[in-house]
């Protein structure tokens, strides 16, 4: 094993070519293209050619766009590697503290444009490729998205990796290298189907396989007493192999490491069985082991699915901690100073088993006493909570934990005993003890992973001010009482490099022209736009740049849906995972109400709108899939009704992912952030849309609250019940039928939906959906409907006053600099990690 993987070991594919051709440079004549006069362009052109010939094995004449993509990515990677080695060497030599961001999800998207942009190579690459007769824009489209995440939580981890590198926080991201990331969504007749996303099929030029960086992770077996010590004898061992991807910061300032684990069987082939003709059985162990890194979020409907998920969590937690300890001990004599050198952030409870695993490694492998191990463990960990929804709070059945992780289960019991003793000493009664226990006794005995993460951490954070307040007051109220001051807030952020500079080059060039180059590095300079909000000429330029983005999105809509939309219409956008609490249904029902109104008053001066939806539903989430179906059914009717004269269109774009988001965010006029108040922990799409100049229509939920504080009440459209009102209405009981009866518009909409106006071929398709609203309406769709529709009318009225609309839009862009993930990371670094950015 090496001391530091980024500075040692063979670099797999990329050095293979160099060995064949140590001289490196190829003569331009050999490939029939002339040298470029700009030396920087010429150097990159040469490097791309070398990579194409010696690594891809292609020739310029016959190279496919994919070949050029790989050649360019490898050429860029070479330059990144130099910075990477330098950054790692410096951190090690100075003994700086570093961050380990443990996350089962990293929703990275594409890396080429990001690396080029951050390395300042975008124009050079464009010219170098042009000299080879290749178009950079086309090449960028060749890269598949790395979709190793479900939604906001995974994308946050990716933004944080970019920000940590940009502001100079030494960091490793630890996760799993899933062979199949998030499924590809295909819609046929309005129904979602899930297809595997095979992002690694053609290889991945960004990663380095560290064949020499391997850890063993055990499962099952027994704990036995040997010479007075407890020893775990696992029944099965899986190998974890590291794959490293460089994470490049702004202007190549620092390069960190995303280290993802791939699972391999310890004993890939039972040769005896194979030779006896059992060809499949001989490989069964291999299949079982490798299933661990096969798919992101395996379906957990079945017991087998749940077990696989727990195996994933433990596999990556154990491998990552073994790696952290190995790196630490290569530099220091012991583990006593681990908390001074590493901060380990648990991204949600998915890595929470790391708490007991670090205890196990410190005690069983490194011979520490319990108290010292606990001091180190609590000194290292901190935990971020991303949802308070009860059905999303992770817990594992005790019998499963005992069978799969017997030693960890013993340690969890011991942690719990010490924790409950302390609470008892504080005078805690039985009710308090039951509520703060790591074991839920009421529910067939389950380990509460949120409690384990909370107790094992020095800080616990929520992701917006409102959400953190709700953590203190609701789900974690009792733990907060016994561990006061542990909960802190860290409002989420987004990386402006990806979500403004790269996604919206038209707007960025206007910002640079107006505010200077500095705005690219320092988002606080966006404040300077405030004084341009009342400048009609500037507002026109702002609207014109956004028009470019809207035309681009119109083309995507035409290509993918065969639907013509008017780029001059208001683009009203709701893009995010499909979930009942996010209330896409509320938006669709308002669309139907608007449709009814437009037909009833055809001569009114309607604000033309395109309702744009995108998002995936979990494969087994039937209600969410039905909402997708309804959106399509409504779209079919609305889009084909000539009486609307094109004033309303509905577009559901399939397969929402990071790359599609990069096209949508710059083109949105209206940002729909309409979750039931109290249920959206933060939201980050809300920040991306506001930054690009969309006005928000939203509830006082998650980070919307803080967006309003910054952009000002007159530049955001807030409606609906507050979190406190939602809680009291639920507590007091309420009757959705009475609410519907009191709203003629809603009654009409629900009648139409329930009676098959949008599904004439199956009139009863939405009967159940409407019945659920009338009988339960758990997400208060009916309760907020009228308030939402009134707010939408205000939105339309504002659209009719372009001066006011664009003034508000400019003020949104001007005032959201605080939502940069650089700010978020600085706060974590200072208040949680105690790491100094440099």
**What is the set of active-site residues?**
386, 576-577, 582, 684, 688
User: What is the rounded distance in angstroms from the CA atom of residue 742 to the CA atom of residue 736?
Assistant: 10
Q: Are 409 and 362 in contact (CB under 8 A)?
A: no
When binding is defined by CB under 6 A, the residue of 12, 231, 336, 392 that contacts ligand 26V is 392
298 belongs to the binding site for ligand 26V (CB under 6 A): no
Q: Which of 240-248, 632-640, 654-662, 682-690 is the region at the interface with ligand 26V (rule: CB under 6 A)?
A: 682-690
What are 241's two structure tokens? 């192999």
578 belongs to the binding site for ligand 26V (CB under 6 A): no
Residue 680: CB minimum distance to ligand 26V, A: 5
Residue 151: CB minimum distance to ligand 26V, A: 6
Residue 139: CB minimum distance to ligand 26V, A: 31
386 belongs to the binding site for ligand 26V (CB under 6 A): yes
Q: Which of 39-47, 251-259, 384-392, 469-477 is the region at the interface with ligand 26V (rule: CB under 6 A)?
A: 384-392
Nearer to ligand 26V, 217 or 825 (CB): 825
Q: Which residue in 692, 693, 714, 690 sits closest to 704, CA to CA?
A: 690
Nearer to ligand 26V, 300 or 440 (CB): 300
What are 773's two structure tokens? 């609203």
CB atoms closer than 10 angstroms to residue 282: 18
Residue 620: CB minimum distance to ligand 26V, A: 10
Query: Which residues inside 613-632 make contact with ligand 26V, applying CB under 6 A?
Result: none
Nearer to ligand 26V, 567 or 702 (CB): 702
- Measured from each CB, the residue nearest to ligand 26V is 152
User: For 275, how many CA atoms within 13 A lie in the half-sphere containing its CB?
Assistant: 3
When binding is defined by CB under 6 A, the residue of 702, 716, 813, 816 that contacts ligand 26V is 702
When binding is defined by CB under 6 A, the residue of 318, 504, 684, 715 that contacts ligand 26V is 684
When binding is defined by CB under 6 A, the residue of 13, 187, 389, 506 that contacts ligand 26V is 389
User: What is the rounded distance in angstroms from the CA atom of residue 428 to the CA atom of residue 422?
Assistant: 9
User: What is the rounded distance in angstroms from the CA atom of residue 546 to the CA atom of residue 544?
Assistant: 5
Continuous segment of H or E residues that includes residue 13: helix 12-20
Query: Which residues inside 415-474 make contact with ligand 26V, applying CB under 6 A?
Result: 463
Q: Which of 22-30, 44-52, 389-397, 566-574 is the region at the interface with ligand 26V (rule: CB under 6 A)?
A: 389-397
When binding is defined by CB under 6 A, the residue of 19, 189, 272, 391 that contacts ligand 26V is 391
Q: Which of 383-391, 529-537, 609-617, 716-724 is the region at the interface with ligand 26V (rule: CB under 6 A)?
A: 383-391
Give the number of residues written for the chain.
Answer: 838
When binding is defined by CB under 6 A, the residue of 168, 339, 683, 698 that contacts ligand 26V is 683
Nearer to ligand 26V, 117 or 152 (CB): 152
What are 779's two structure tokens? 């997400």
What are the backbone angles phi and psi of residue 411, rounded to the nearest 5°? -65, -35
User: What is the rounded distance in angstroms from the CA atom of residue 292 to the CA atom of residue 238?
Assistant: 9
SS3 216: strand
Number of residues that bind ligand 26V (CB under 6 A): 18
Residue 204: CB minimum distance to ligand 26V, A: 25
156 belongs to the binding site for ligand 26V (CB under 6 A): yes
124 belongs to the binding site for ligand 26V (CB under 6 A): no
User: What is the rounded distance in angstroms from the CA atom of residue 447 to the CA atom of residue 438?
Assistant: 6
When binding is defined by CB under 6 A, the residue of 680, 777, 784, 822 that contacts ligand 26V is 680
Q: Are 448 and 393 in contact (CB under 8 A)?
A: yes
User: What is the rounded distance in angstroms from the CA atom of residue 489 to the CA atom of residue 482?
Assistant: 18
Nearer to ligand 26V, 168 or 175 (CB): 175
User: What is the rounded distance in angstroms from the CA atom of residue 746 to the CA atom of residue 752?
Assistant: 10
Alpha helix (H) residue ranges in 426-562: 430-436, 449-455, 465-473, 477-482, 496, 505-515, 536-561
Residue 539 vs residues 392, 512, 554, 669, 810: alpha-carbon distances, Å: 44, 15, 22, 14, 7
Residue 621: CB minimum distance to ligand 26V, A: 8
Nearer to ligand 26V, 428 or 702 (CB): 702
Residue 460: CB minimum distance to ligand 26V, A: 14
When binding is defined by CB under 6 A, the residue of 312, 495, 584, 682 that contacts ligand 26V is 682
What are the backbone angles phi and psi of residue 787, rounded to the nearest 5°? -60, -40
Q: Are 160 and 826 in contact (CB under 8 A)?
A: no
When binding is defined by CB under 6 A, the residue of 117, 144, 151, 190 that contacts ligand 26V is 151
Residue 808: CB minimum distance to ligand 26V, A: 24
Q: Which of 27-35, 213-221, 420-428, 679-687 is the region at the interface with ligand 26V (rule: CB under 6 A)?
A: 679-687
What are the backbone angles phi and psi of residue 233, rounded to the nearest 5°? -110, 95
User: What is the rounded distance in angstroms from the CA atom of residue 544 to the CA atom of residue 513?
Assistant: 14
User: What is the rounded distance in angstroms from the CA atom of residue 56 to the CA atom of residue 98?
Assistant: 35
CB atoms closer than 10 angstroms to residue 574: 26
Residue 677 vs residues 459, 466, 699, 703, 726: alpha-carbon distances, Å: 26, 10, 6, 11, 7
DSSP secondary structure code for residue 207 in this structure: -
SS3 485: coil
Nearer to ligand 26V, 151 or 456 (CB): 151
> Which residues would be at the binding site for ligand 26V (CB under 6 A)?
151-153, 156, 348, 386-387, 389, 391-392, 463, 492, 680-684, 702
């Amino acid at each position: 094993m090496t001391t530091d993987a980024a500075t040692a070991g063979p670099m797999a594919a990329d050095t293979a070519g160099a060995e064949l051709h140590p001289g490196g440079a190829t003569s331009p004549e050999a490939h029939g293209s002339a040298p470029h006069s700009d030396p920087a362009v010429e150097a990159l052109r040469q490097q791309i050619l070398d990579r194409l010939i010696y690594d891809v094995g292609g020739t310029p004449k016959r190279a496919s766009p994919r070949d050029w993509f790989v050649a360019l990515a490898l050429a860029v990677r070479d330059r990144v590697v130099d910075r990477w080695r330098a950054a790692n060497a410096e951190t090690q030599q100075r003994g700086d503290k570093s961050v380990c961001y443990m996350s089962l999800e990293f929703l990275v998207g594409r890396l080429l444009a990001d690396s080029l942009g951050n390395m300042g190579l975008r124009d050079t690459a464009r010219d170098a490729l042009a000299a080879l007769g290749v178009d950079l824009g086309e090449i960028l489209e060749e890269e598949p998205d790395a979709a190793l995440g479900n939604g906001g939580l995974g994308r946050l981890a990716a933004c944080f990796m970019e920000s940590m590198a940009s502001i100079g926080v030494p960091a490793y991201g630890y996760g799993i290298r899933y062979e199949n990331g998030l499924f590809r969504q295909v819609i046929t007749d309005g129904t979602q189907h899930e297809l595997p996303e095979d992002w690694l099929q053609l290889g991945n030029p960004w990663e380095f396989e560290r064949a020499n960086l391997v850890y063993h992770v055990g499962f099952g077996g027994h704990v036995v007493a040997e010479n007075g010590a407890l020893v775990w004898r696992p029944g099965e061992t899986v190998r974890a192999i590291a794959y490293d991807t460089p994470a490049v910061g702004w202007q190549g300032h620092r390069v960190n490491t995303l280290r993802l684990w791939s699972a391999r069987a310890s004993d890939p082939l039972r040769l005896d069985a194979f030779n006896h003709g059992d060809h499949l059985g001989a490989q069964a162990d291999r299949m079982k082991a490798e299933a661990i890194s096969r798919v992101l979020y395996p379906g957990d409907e079945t017991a087998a699915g749940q077990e696989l998920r727990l195996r994933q969590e433990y596999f990556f937690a154990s491998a990552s901690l073994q790696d952290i300890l190995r790196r630490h001990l290569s530099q220091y004599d012991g583990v006593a100073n681990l908390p001074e050198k590493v901060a380990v952030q648990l991204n949600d409870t998915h890595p929470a088993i790391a708490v007991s695993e670090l205890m196990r490694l410190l005690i069983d492998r490194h011979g520490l006493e319990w108290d010292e191990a606990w001091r180190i463990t609590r000194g290292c960990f901190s935990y971020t909570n991303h949802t308070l929804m009860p059905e999303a709070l992770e817990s594992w059945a005790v019998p499963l934990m005992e069978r799969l992780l017997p030693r960890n289960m013993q340690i969890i019991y011991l942690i719990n005993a010490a924790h409950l003793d302390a609470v008892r000493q504080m005078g805690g009664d039985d009710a308090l003890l039951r509520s703060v226990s790591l074991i839920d006794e009421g529910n067939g005995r389950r380990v509460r992973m949120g409690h384990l993460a909370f107790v094992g951490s020095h800080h616990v954070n929520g992701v917006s001010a409102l959400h953190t307040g709700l953590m203190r007051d609701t789900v974690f109220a009792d733990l907060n009482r016994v561990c006061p001051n542990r909960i802190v807030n860290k409002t989420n952020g987004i990386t402006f490099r990806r979500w403004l500079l790269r996604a919206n080059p038209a707007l960025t060039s206007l910002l640079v022209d107006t505010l200077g180059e500095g705005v690219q590095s320092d988002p606080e300079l966006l404040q300077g736009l405030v004084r341009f909000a009342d400048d009609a000429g500037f507002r026109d330029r702002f609207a014109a740049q956004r028009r470019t983005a809207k035309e681009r999105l119109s083309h995507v809509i035409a290509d993918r849906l065969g639907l013509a939309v008017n780029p001059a219409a208001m683009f009203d956008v709701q893009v995010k995972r499909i979930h009942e609490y996010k209330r896409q249904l509320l938006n669709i029902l308002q669309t139907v109400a608007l449709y009814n109104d437009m037909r009833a008053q055809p001569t009114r001066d309607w604000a033309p709108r395109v309702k744009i939806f995108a998002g995936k539903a979990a494969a087994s989430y039937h209600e969410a899939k039905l909402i997708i179906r309804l959106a399509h059914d409504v779209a079919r009717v609305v889009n084909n009704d000539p009486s609307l004269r094109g004033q309303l269109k509905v577009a559901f774009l399939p397969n929402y992912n990071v790359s599609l988001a990069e096209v949508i965010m710059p083109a949105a006029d209206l940002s729909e952030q309409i979750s039931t108040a109290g249920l959206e922990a933060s939201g980050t799409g809300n920040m991306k849309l506001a930054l690009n100049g969309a006005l928000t229509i939203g509830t006082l939920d998650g980070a919307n609250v803080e967006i309003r504080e910054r952009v000002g009440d007159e530049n955001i459209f807030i409606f609906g019940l507050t979190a406190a009102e939602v809680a009291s209405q639920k507590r007091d009981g309420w009757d959705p039928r009475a609410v519907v009866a009191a709203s003629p518009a809603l009654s009409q909409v629900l009648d139409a939906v329930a009676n098959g106006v949008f599904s004439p071929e199956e009139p009863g398709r939405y009967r159940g959906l409407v019945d659920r609203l009338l009988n339960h309406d758990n997400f208060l769709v009916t309760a907020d409907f009228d308030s939402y529709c009134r707010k939408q009318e205000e939105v339309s009225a504002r659209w009719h006053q372009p001066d006011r609309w664009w003034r508000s839009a400019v003020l949104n862009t001007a005032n959201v600099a605080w939502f940069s993930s650089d700010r978020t990371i600085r706060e974590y670094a200072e208040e949680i990690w105690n790491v100094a950015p440099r």
